[in-house]
């Protein structure tokens, strides 16, 4: 005779020895205090691990839905207000996902065709750009599909309300099989003062949809990683859109004012209002001095 569900659950719980540290789980999504069943991990915890692992693999290998993403960018009201040109779809030298994973250097550079496409566009326009925005799949197309548009709309709202500067934005570039440094190619082709890339981060077992933002002043092919600023773990369960947008707006404004980025430009969004010593240097960088 089949046992009733409550009876079966009661028997199951008796087989699992709970961890004495279980109360700490409310502070983190990390896989801690799992308990044990005999000498093994309880079945539920094992299945949860396998599910998270499968989600991380899917995030790496799932192709970015370009048609859907470009349509969303074209239909966004605030993007239409601030960006006069339609999004441009580009490719890197990585022809497919397997090449992308095996040859990171290919993902860092635009294909010859895309490079020429951007140069031709720039030659047809005399407008000077403050900011070139790039969206790339990176190692998690899931992250870009979920967070790129709402994050971008949040940031553009702040740029639109900037009382100190009227931002000139280059067409949004959407790059497939892209890594962080590919934004240098885009920024150089468009001759933008700053380039900013929204990119899917390497998935974690509890965060398959984490997105990062990197920005670089005076982007050029071959720029060092030390010349970039990074905002990481952007997603509702991590750094939410308003928080990430506030940091990005601060760094973009400072980069434009100080004409630098990377190790010379620090995120002071959490101290700018409370530590007068950090603001005493005015327009100069407090690390570099006058």
User: Which residues make Cβ contacts (< 8 Å) with residue 232, sequence separation at least 6?
Assistant: 201, 210, 212, 239
Residue 175 marked in a binding site: no
CB burial string 241-273: b at 16+ within 10 A, e below: beebbbbbbbbbbbbbeeebbbebbebbeeeee
Nearest to 201 by CA among 217, 212, 216: 212
90 CB neighbour count, 10 Å cutoff: 24
Residue 180 marked in a binding site: yes
Helix pair angle (43-61, 141-160), 10° resolution: 70
CB of 186 within 8 A of CB of 91? no
SS3 233: strand
User: Which residues make Cβ contacts (< 8 Å) with residue 281, sequence separation at least 6?
Assistant: 289, 290
SS3 83: coil
Tokens representing 54 are: 């499968």
78 CB neighbour count, 10 Å cutoff: 15
Residue 230 marked in a binding site: yes
CB of 149 within 8 A of CB of 98? no
Q: What are phi and psi of 227, to 5 degrees?
A: -90, 5
SS3 238: coil
111 CB neighbour count, 10 Å cutoff: 18
Binding residues for adenosylcob(III)alamin: 180, 201, 230
Binding residues: 180, 201, 230
């Amino acid at each position: 005779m089949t046992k009733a569900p409550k009876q079966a659950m009661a028997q199951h719980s008796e087989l699992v020895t709970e961890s004495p540290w279980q109360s700490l789980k409310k502070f983190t999504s990390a896989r801690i205090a799992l308990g044990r069943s005999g000498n093994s991990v309880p079945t539920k915890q094992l299945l949860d691990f396998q599910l998270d692992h499968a989600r991380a693999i899917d995030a790496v290998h799932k192709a970015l839905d370009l048609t859907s993403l470009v349509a969303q960018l074209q239909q966004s009201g605030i993007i239409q207000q601030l960006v006069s040109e339609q999004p441009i779809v580009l490719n890197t030298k990585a022809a497919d996902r397997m090449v992308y994973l095996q040859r990171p250097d290919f993902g860092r550079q635009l294909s010859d065709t895309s490079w020429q496409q951007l140069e031709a566009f720039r030659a047809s326009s005399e407008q000077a750009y403050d900011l070139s925005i790039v969206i790339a799949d990176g190692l998690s197309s899931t992250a870009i599909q979920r967070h790129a548009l709402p994050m971008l709309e949040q940031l553009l709202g702040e740029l639109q309300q900037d009382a100190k500067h009227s931002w000139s934005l280059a067409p949004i570039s959407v790059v497939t099989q892209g890594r962080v440094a590919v934004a240098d190619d885009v920024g150089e082709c468009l001759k933008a003062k700053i380039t900013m890339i929204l990119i899917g981060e390497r998935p974690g077992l509890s965060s398959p949809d984490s997105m990062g933002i990197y920005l670089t002043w005076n982007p050029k092919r071959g720029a060092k990683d030390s010349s970039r600023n990074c905002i990481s773990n952007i997603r509702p369960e991590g750094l939410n859109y308003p928080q990430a947008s506030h940091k990005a707006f601060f760094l973009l404004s400072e980069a434009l004012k100080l004409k630098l980025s990377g190790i010379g430009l620090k995120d002071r969004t959490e101290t700018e209002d409370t530590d007068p010593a950090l603001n005493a240097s005015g327009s100069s960088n407090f690390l570099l001095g006058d």
